[in-house]
Copies of this chain bind each other. A is one copy, B any other.
Amino acid sequence: MTLRIRCQQCSVRSCAPCSALTAATADQLARIVHRRRIPAGQILYGGPDRAKTFSIIVEGVVKLVNVQPDGSNQIVGLQFPSEFVGRPFVEGAPLVAEAATDLEVCAFSGSAFETLMQTHADLERTIFKRTLDDLDFARQWMSMIARKTAEERVASLLMLIASKFRDKARDGRQAVAGLEFNLPLSRTEIAECLGLRLETVSRQFAALKAEGIITTGRRRGLKVADMAALGERAQGLVHA
């Protein structure tokens, strides 16, 4: 009961997978959930000898990293608040999910969650649909990386991140004044997302600043002054 109440106050309640469930399934899920705070850099799944877990992100960003044999990293996906993180049905996942920022998550043990999926078809269906969306998105992102210039890639990623922050702060005020937030990724990580070098990313930031489209603050602060212009630079934009 207390758990249900906590869920109803949850900031991602409206769009998280749990909102698509029947009351009965949501109750069952609430019984096995553990709310956790996770520091940036910690691994959620993948990598050596790590117990399988599933999570729903409440706050923060998770990066899905493909560690190459030559030691370089490729980021193949980002997960934002309300999204599901986990890889059902396999033990050795081919990639690593790592907290890009400090996180707040609803965590579920692998066995408990998978058991629940077996018995509650609506839960499985919900995760299935999310997976299909992830697949569509991954393919869109792939075309982006395959075809676009450095400027378009950087603009696309900033648009993606900015749109997530805009969704969170729903009062249209921000849209006019310009959107301000801290980037969840370092320059290196941005480069790893886009298939670029960090120097190239830095130069594209400089170019966007010179055009007055963005402003960088201290640390990872970023202000998008002209979202429309940024969208133009992104060309065929990947809409999340």
Contacts and interface: CB of A to CB of B under 8 A. Distances in A.
A141 B90 CA distance: 19
A41 interface: no
A74 B135 contact: no
A156 to B, nearest CB: 13
Interface string A74-88: 101100000000011
Contacts of A72: 147
Interface residues of A, number: 39
Complex copy number for this chain: 2
A94 interface: yes
A70 interface: yes
Interface of A: 64, 66, 68-70, 72, 74, 76-77, 87-90, 94-95, 121, 124-125, 127-129, 131-132, 134-136, 138-143, 145-147, 194-195, 235-236
